[in-house]
């Protein structure tokens, strides 16, 4: 089964590599990125050129014929905070190798996932794919349409050698490693301290427990604020993950129960009932069942809600909410940003507050089609190596973790206050465990994700909903 | 053509009602446009205020142009939608004529088939169409033209049934005497269609063409499946791409929405003159 | 009679062929595959089905027990009534009004059409802002009028109204344009003759416009009824996944949900069949109603 990502991960993750501002590579951001990016660009040719040459040697005649056109699909598109980084990296790689990249990236929604699956089905898959390495990749791995890292290493021994082997996620299908990870993520609890102050609640720390959390929520509610910013009818994902985690330990969180009746299954049921309890206590916003995640996030940033459990990518969202012009970091209201903090998720039982969820959920795949094409093999390898180099990964990883063996030093002087708080928070983490929902993808999620409103309102028993989901999982 | 009218109380009521409805259709557009000039955190507090003074900013448009190739997207969108409208009008018109005028065994079955086809949800057919087009070498290729065709063909089919229903209803209402006269003069069915029916059906053709154009222009689902490369993105794809990740940046949303709808409204207002002309041309003959 | 011209059926084939070729290749064939899929075991969109469900009609059986199917059919029928009465009804009134005024005809014709021009996705975003709880256009107005607490326009009881009002509003212009086109085709001489005979404006509408519009109104009604079955974008943008508590599902949104969101592809395929069957039956009903009233 999938390996837990713990202390090893932390080694890489703690030295958080962050660029100046989490949000996308707009003009003023580029200035600060240039200080690190410039080095990267200068160094990259040195490290990459040999790799490309090596590729040509092994590939002999066909590959030497000149520029190759590589079709690449990633999720770095639209408003993804790495979209610009990716574009820049692709341009640099093209300039360096003379190859061209046909980019078919799109925002990672369900239509996109369907599109990728259809591409593999019809044989129109890209040459290189940056995609989720959890259950979403099962179908094309089962069909043998991507090449494992080991197979690539038989010919390119240095492929992904700068990565920490333990942090490369193995496939759920055959336990082989396919995807070279780039940027990771963590999930934690963001806090609006303005609301805490108004309600007379102290900033929680590393030993925060669920009971303390509930007592605080009660005070916040009494002061007229919504304690928890969450849209249970829209994105219950983060609460789902931590509520289950709170009834387990980092050691067994990633095991999917056989049935709702066994011990682990009961911890899932207990997790659902914990959310139900918080809902009944009135700690979620009044319209949590009909609001969108955007709306509840706005409540949090506007000082109407106190706590928000979310991922590392939300740092950028909070920062841009503190800018009068969201696209111009120069307009940042630092006083407002200082009111936001990030801390651990209240713990319970054998899960400590500092046991967080995080990891590397996506990576670069090279497809069988490209590998078997003598003209493209070397180019595909060179492309992935370029985008997963020691210089490139930190630019993409930002607040998230990376799997690099030797992450470069971080220059904290360019960070804003929330980024520094995030880094300090991450330094105190005792473990990082992957999200069990990444293994639990597809229709098995429906009964407890989309069904969350029914569970918390008591229309469906938590036990039945969990049982239904697990049954669907076993049938997959 | 003129109707004698005095300003009676009844007429005033009519105008009041018409103006109220017109307000509901025009104001949202004004609202979107004025909010496109405001920073995102100002919109919710001040959505009705005009963007003047401190409220005014071009940042949203700057970002929209910086992050997207908006002219390339217009090119794709206009090409696709124009082709769709032309093909639909041409082919559906012929089909509708046959359905309206010919009585043959199974014509009611064909009618049901047309209405049924109108119901097919695109989500149910898109995968099979994609697989088929990929086999033909149309979908997911490097060629701009072929990629555009891969969107145009299913969209033509998707609008065909609707167009046939509207046109059949219209042609059925035409007086048959003109066709008989043409027949007496020795015209065959094809000559009748092109010389008699088509001119008479002009207003309805215009209606169908406009709807086909708009539906094609606004049809996100089909486009998102067939147009993968950013350099081939259509205008709606761009809106979707931006809204997917930054849905709370209402300012940027408003700017992009404005960029999408304003050209269409301008084009529509310009063409309006010709459409009305077509309608009147039809009326005179009737 | 005119039947003489059309005794030779061969040209009909030529006229129909291209249009049908398109529909067969891009609609019927894919839909036939869809019907097949509804009997198969299929959990991944884009995959080819290999085995049949056991028993093969499982999905159709499940439909009968699925409360969401009933919710979505019920909501869709409400939507149909709303579109018939609201959209077509308002459109007829507006079209007749515009036809009977002399000044500003063209202005109203142009302006009423605007909502169709805007993509449904954009409209959905806009209405989300209008109905936003904290604080969109509607709640801002209510606050000005002195209402103390915020109304959640997307709460369970009222969500259907919040969803249907924009859909209705958007498509009035669509039927309006079709009807105006039809009205323009009515000979001015008929009105003139009626006027000379002393008919009032209302009488002219009743005895000339409405009867002569009969075919067009019938077309509009068929479009409205079938359109309601497929309506998707706006409700989905405003109420994704049938929020709140799966109470706002329509047949179109529920099918999309099952196919794209839950990856219950074969069940989604079965729902698509249900949509088409319902559509054809209802279109026939509408046609039958209008035929009885033939003038």
pLDDT digits 0-9 by tens, A31-40 = 333 333 333 3
Above 50 in pLDDT, residue A60?
no
Burial of B283 (0-12, 13-18, 19+ CB in 10 A): middle
> Which backbone phi and psi does A132 adopt, to 5 degrees?
-65, 140
> Mutual orientation of helices B250-285 and B59-67 as an angle, nearest 10°?
80
pLDDT value, residue A345: 93
Note whether residue B85 is domain-resident.
yes
Tens digits of residue pLDDT in C76-103: 889 888 888 888 889 988 988 888 787 8
Identify any residues that bridge with A359 across adjacent strands, giving them in sequence order: A185
Query: Residues A259-264: contacts with CB within 8 Å, 24+ apart?
Result: A259/A467, A259/A470, A260/A463, A260/A466, A260/A467, A260/A470, A261/A467
Above 80 in pLDDT, residue B153?
yes
Note whether residue B47 is domain-resident.
yes
Q: Say yes or no for a CB contact (<8 Å) between A139 and C44.
A: yes
Note whether residue C119 is domain-resident.
yes
Phi-psi group of A72: left, alpha or beta (phi > 0 → left; psi -120 to 50 → alpha; rest → beta):
beta
Q: Say yes or no for a CB contact (<8 Å) between B39 and A326.
A: yes
> Mutual orientation of helices C89-99 and C105-112 as an angle, nearest 10°?
160
Strongest mean pLDDT among A58-62, A319-323, B227-231 = A319-323
Contact B221, B64 (CB under 8 A): no
Q: Say yes or no for a CB contact (<8 Å) between A289 and C132.
A: no
- Please count the structural domains in chain C: 1
Above 60 in pLDDT, residue B177?
yes
Average pLDDT score over residue span B233-252:
71
Give the residue on B whose Cα is nearest the Cα of C189: B1
When pLDDT is cut at 50, 70 and 90, the band that residue B285 belongs to is very low
CA distance A453 to A474: 24
Note whether residue C11 is domain-resident.
no
CA distance A27 to B66: 9
What kind of fold does domain A7-184+360-409 have according to CATH?
D-Maltodextrin-Binding Protein; domain 2 (3.40.190)
Instruction: Locate all alpha helices (DSSP H) within chain B, ordered by sequence.
Output: 9-36, 40-43, 59-67, 70-101, 107-119, 122-135, 144-172, 177-184, 189-192, 198-218, 220-226, 235-245, 250-285
Note whether residue B46 is domain-resident.
yes
Using the 8-state DSSP alphabet, how is residue A304 labeled? S
pLDDT value, residue B41: 66
Note whether residue C234 is domain-resident.
yes
A233 — contact with chain C (CB < 8 Å)? yes
C111 — contact with chain B (CB < 8 Å)? yes
pLDDT value, residue A37: 34
Above 60 in pLDDT, residue B277?
no
Above 90 in pLDDT, residue A366?
yes
A121 — contact with chain C (CB < 8 Å)? yes
Tens digits of residue pLDDT in B101-126: 887 777 778 888 888 888 787 777 87
CB contacts of B142 in chain A (<8 Å) are 69, 102
Note whether residue C38 is domain-resident.
no
Note whether residue C18 is domain-resident.
no
CA distance A456 to A274: 9
Note whether residue C222 is domain-resident.
yes
Note whether residue B16 is domain-resident.
yes
CATH number of B228's domain: 1.10.3720.10
Contact A304, A225 (CB under 8 A): yes
Give the residue on B whose Cα is nearest the Cα of C108: B22
CATH number of C237's domain: 1.10.3720.10
Cβ-Cβ contacts under 8 Å between A and C: the total is 77
Tens digits of residue pLDDT in B37-84: 887 667 666 667 777 777 777 877 887 777 667 788 888 888 999 999
CB contacts of C238 in chain A (<8 Å) are none
Whether B50 and B85 share a structural domain: no
Note whether residue C180 is domain-resident.
yes
Whether B102 and B213 share a structural domain: yes
Contact A264, A289 (CB under 8 A): no
What are the angstrom distances between the C-alpha of B277 and each of A99, B271, C73, C106, C176? 55, 10, 42, 11, 17
Above 80 in pLDDT, residue C25?
yes
Whether B48 and B87 share a structural domain: no
Give the pTM: 0.78
Strongest mean pLDDT among B224-238, C20-34, C239-253 = C20-34
Task: Give how far C269 is from chain A: nearest CA, Å.
Answer: 15
CA distance A287 to A453: 11
pLDDT value, residue C85: 86
Tens digits of residue pLDDT in A197-231: 999 999 998 889 999 999 999 999 999 999 999 99
When pLDDT is cut at 50, 70 and 90, the band that residue C3 belongs to is low
CB contacts of C181 in chain B (<8 Å) are 170, 203-204, 206-207, 279, 282
C229 — contact with chain B (CB < 8 Å)? yes
Note whether residue B255 is domain-resident.
no
C245 — contact with chain A (CB < 8 Å)? yes
When pLDDT is cut at 50, 70 and 90, the band that residue C129 belongs to is confident
CA distance C16 to C7: 16
A186-357+419-474 matches A7-184+360-409 in CATH topology: yes
pLDDT value, residue C64: 87
Task: Give how far B42 is from chain C: nearest CA, Å.
Answer: 12
Q: 10 Å Cβ neighbour count for C63?
A: 19
Note whether residue B30 is domain-resident.
yes
pLDDT value, residue A325: 62
Tens digits of residue pLDDT in A271-314: 999 999 999 999 999 888 888 888 888 889 888 999 999 988 78
Contact A131, A137 (CB under 8 A): yes
Note whether residue B42 is domain-resident.
yes
Note whether residue C30 is domain-resident.
no
ipTM of the predicted structure? Answer: 0.78
- Please count the structural domains in chain B: 2
SS3 at position A132: strand
CA distance A40 to A56: 24
CA distance C267 to C249: 16
pLDDT value, residue C56: 80
Nearest to B226 by CA among B120, B159, B153: B153
Per-domain residue ranges of chain A: 7-184+360-409, 186-357+419-474
Contacts with A314 (C-beta within 8 Å, 6 or more apart), sequence order: A190, A297, A308
- Report chain A's terminal Cα–Cα distance, integer Å: 16
Q: Say yes or no for a CB contact (<8 Å) between B225 and A328.
A: no
Give the structural domain span for C137. 67-292
Candidate from C23, C109, C269 with C-beta closest to B124: C269
CB contacts of B264 in chain C (<8 Å) are 117
Average pLDDT score over residue span A38-61:
38
Whether B33 and B171 share a structural domain: no
Average pLDDT score over residue span B230-250:
71
Higher local confidence (pLDDT), B205 or A307: A307
Cβ-Cβ contacts under 8 Å between B and C: the total is 297
CB contacts of A118 in chain C (<8 Å) are 45-46
Domain over A186-357+419-474 is classified CATH 3.40.190.10: yes
- By DSSP bridging, strand A355-359 and strand A100-103 are unpaired
| Whether residue C135 has a cis bond before it, omega within 30° of 0 | yes
Contacts with B261 (C-beta within 8 Å, 6 or more apart), sequence order: B29, B32, C117, C118, C119, C122
Task: Give how far C23 is from chain A: nearest CA, Å.
Answer: 23
Give the structural domain span for B125. 72-245
CB contacts of B131 in chain A (<8 Å) are 118, 121-122
Average pLDDT score over residue span A458-467:
90
Which residues of chain B from 31 to 90 reach within 8 Å of chain A, CB to CB?
Answer: 39-41, 44, 57, 59, 62-63, 66-67
When pLDDT is cut at 50, 70 and 90, the band that residue A53 belongs to is very low
Contacts with C81 (C-beta within 8 Å, 6 or more apart), sequence order: none
Task: Give how far C132 is from chain A: nearest CA, Å.
Answer: 8
Note whether residue B187 is domain-resident.
yes
Q: Say yes or no for a CB contact (<8 Å) between C178 and B117.
A: no
Q: Say yes or no for a CB contact (<8 Å) between B120 and C31.
A: yes
Average pLDDT score over residue span C141-154:
78
Helices first, then strands: H and E counts in chain A = 19, 12
Tens digits of residue pLDDT in A413-448: 667 888 888 888 888 888 888 888 888 877 788 888
């Amino acid at each position: 089964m999938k390996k837990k990502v713990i202390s090893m991960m932390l080694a890489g993750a703690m030295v958080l590599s962050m660029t100046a501002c989490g949000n996308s590579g707009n003009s003023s951001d580029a200035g600060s990125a240039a200080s690190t990016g410039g080095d990267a660009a200068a160094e990259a040719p040195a490290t990459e050129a040999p790799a490309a040459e090596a590729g040509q040697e092994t590939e002999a005649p066909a590959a030497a014929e000149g520029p190759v056109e590589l079709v690449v699909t990633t999720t770095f598109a639209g408003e993804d905070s790495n979209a610009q980084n990716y574009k820049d990296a692709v341009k640099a790689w093209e300039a360096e190798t003379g190859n061209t990249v046909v980019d078919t990236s799109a925002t990672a929604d369900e239509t996109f996932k369907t599109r990728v699956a259809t591409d593999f089905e019809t044989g129109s898959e890209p040459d290189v794919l940056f995609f989720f390495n959890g259950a979403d990749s099962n179908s094309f791995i089962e069909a043998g349409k991507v090449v494992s890292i080991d197979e690539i290493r038989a010919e390119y021994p240095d492929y992904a050698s700068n990565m920490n082997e333990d942090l490369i996620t193995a496939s759920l299908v055959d336990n082989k490693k396919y995807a070279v990870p780039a940027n990771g993520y963590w999930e934690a609890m963001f806090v609006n301290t303005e609301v805490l102050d108004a309600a007379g609640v102290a900033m929680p720390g590393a030993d925060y427990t669920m009971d303390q959390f509930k007592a605080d929520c009660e005070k916040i509610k009494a002061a007229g604020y919504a304690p928890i910013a969450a849209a249970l009818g829209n994105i219950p994902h983060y609460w789902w993950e931590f509520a289950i985690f709170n009834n387990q330990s980092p050691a067994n969180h990633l095991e999917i129960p056989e049935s709702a009746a066994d011990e682990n299954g009961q911890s899932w049921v207990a997790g659902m009932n914990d959310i139900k309890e918080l809902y009944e206590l009135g700690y979620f916003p009044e319209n949590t069942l009909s609001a969108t995640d955007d709306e509840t996030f706005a409540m949090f940033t506007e000082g109407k809600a106190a706590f928000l459990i979310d991922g590392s990518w939300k740092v950028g969202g909070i920062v841009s909410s503190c800018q009068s012009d969201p696209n111009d970091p120069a307009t940042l209201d630092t006083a407002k940003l200082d009111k936001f903090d990030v801390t651990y998720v209240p713990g319970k039982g054998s899960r400590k507050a500092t046991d967080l969820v995080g990891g590397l959920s996506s990576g670069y795949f090279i497809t069988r089609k490209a590998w078997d094409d003598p003209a493209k093999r070397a180019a595909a390898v060179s492309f992935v190596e370029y985008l997963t180099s020691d210089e490139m990964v930190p630019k993409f990883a930002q607040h998230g973790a990376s799997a690099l063996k030797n992450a470069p030093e971080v220059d904290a002087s360019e960070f804003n206050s929330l980024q520094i708080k995030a880094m300090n928070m991450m330094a105190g983490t005792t473990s990082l465990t992957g999200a069990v929902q990444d293994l639990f993808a597809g229709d098995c999620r429906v009964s407890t994700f989309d069904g969350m409103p029914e569970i918390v309102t008591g229309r469906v028993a938590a036990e039945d909903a969990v049982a239904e989901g697990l049954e669907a999982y076993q049938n997959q | 053509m003129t109707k004698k009218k005095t300003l009676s109380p009844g007429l005033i009521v009519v105008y009041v009602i018409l103006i109220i409805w017109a307000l509901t259709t025009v104001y949202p557009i004004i609202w979107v446009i004025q909010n496109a000039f405001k920073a995102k955190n100002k919109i919710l507090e001040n959505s009705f205020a005009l963007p003047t003074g401190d409220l005014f900013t071009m940042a949203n448009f700057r970002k929209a142009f910086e992050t997207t190739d908006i002219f390339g997207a217009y090119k794709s969108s206009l090409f696709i939608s124009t082709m769709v409208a032309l093909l639909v009008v041409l082919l559906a018109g012929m089909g509708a004529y046959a359905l309206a005028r010919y009585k043959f065994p199974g014509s009611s079955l064909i009618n049901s088939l047309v209405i049924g086809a109108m119901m097919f949800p695109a989500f149910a057919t898109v995968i099979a169409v994609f697989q088929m087009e990929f086999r033909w070498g149309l979908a997911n290729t490097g060629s701009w033209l072929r990629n555009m065709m891969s969107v145009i063909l299913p969209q033509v089919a998707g609008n065909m049934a609707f167009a046939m229903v509207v046109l059949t209803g219209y042609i059925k209402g035409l007086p048959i005497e003109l066709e008989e006269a043409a027949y007496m003069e020795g015209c065959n069915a094809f000559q009748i269609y092109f010389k008699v029916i088509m001119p008479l059906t002009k207003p309805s053709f215009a209606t169908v063409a406009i709807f086909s154009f708009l539906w094609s222009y606004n049809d996100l689902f089909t486009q998102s499946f067939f147009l993968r490369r950013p350099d081939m993105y259509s205008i709606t794809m761009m809106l979707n791409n931006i809204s997917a990740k930054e849905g709370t940046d209402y300012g940027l949303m408003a700017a992009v929405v404005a960029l999408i709808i304003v050209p269409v409204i301008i084009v529509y207002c310009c063409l309006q003159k010709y459409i009305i002309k077509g309608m009147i041309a039809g009326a005179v003959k009737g | 009679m005119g039947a003489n011209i059309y005794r030779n059926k061969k040209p009909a084939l030529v006229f129909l062929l291209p249009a049908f070729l398109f529909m067969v290749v891009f609609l019927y064939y894919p839909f036939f595959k869809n019907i097949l899929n509804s009997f198969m075991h299929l959990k991944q969109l884009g995959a080819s089905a290999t085995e049949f469900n056991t028993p093969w009609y499982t999905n159709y059986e499940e439909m009968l027990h699925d409360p969401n199917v009933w919710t979505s059919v019920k909501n869709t029928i409400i939507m149909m009534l709303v579109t018939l009465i609201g959209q077509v009804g308002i459109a007829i009134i507006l079209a007749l009004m515009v036809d009977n005024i002399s000044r500003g005809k063209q202005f109203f014709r142009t302006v009423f059409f605007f909502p169709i021009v805007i993509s449904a996705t954009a409209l959905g975003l806009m209405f989300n802002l209008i109905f936003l709880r904290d604080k969109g256009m509607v709640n801002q107005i209510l606050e000005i009028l002195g209402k103390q607490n915020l109304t959640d326009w997307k709460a369970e009881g009222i969500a259907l109204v919040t969803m249907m009002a924009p859909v209705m509003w958007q498509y009035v212009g669509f039927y309006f344009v079709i009807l105006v086109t039809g009205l323009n085709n009515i000979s001015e001489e008929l009105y003139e003759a009626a006027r000379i005979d002393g008919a009032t404006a209302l009488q002219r509408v009743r005895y000339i416009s409405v009867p002569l519009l009969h075919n067009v109104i019938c077309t509009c009604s068929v479009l409205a009824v079938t359109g309601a079955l497929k309506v998707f974008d706006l409700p989905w943008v405003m109420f994704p996944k049938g929020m709140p508590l799966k109470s706002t599902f329509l047949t179109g949104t529920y099918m999309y949900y099952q196919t794209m969101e839950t990856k219950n592809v074969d069940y989604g395929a079965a729902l698509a069949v249900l949509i088409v069957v319902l559509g054809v039956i209802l279109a026939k009903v509408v046609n039958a109603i209008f035929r009885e009233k033939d003038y």
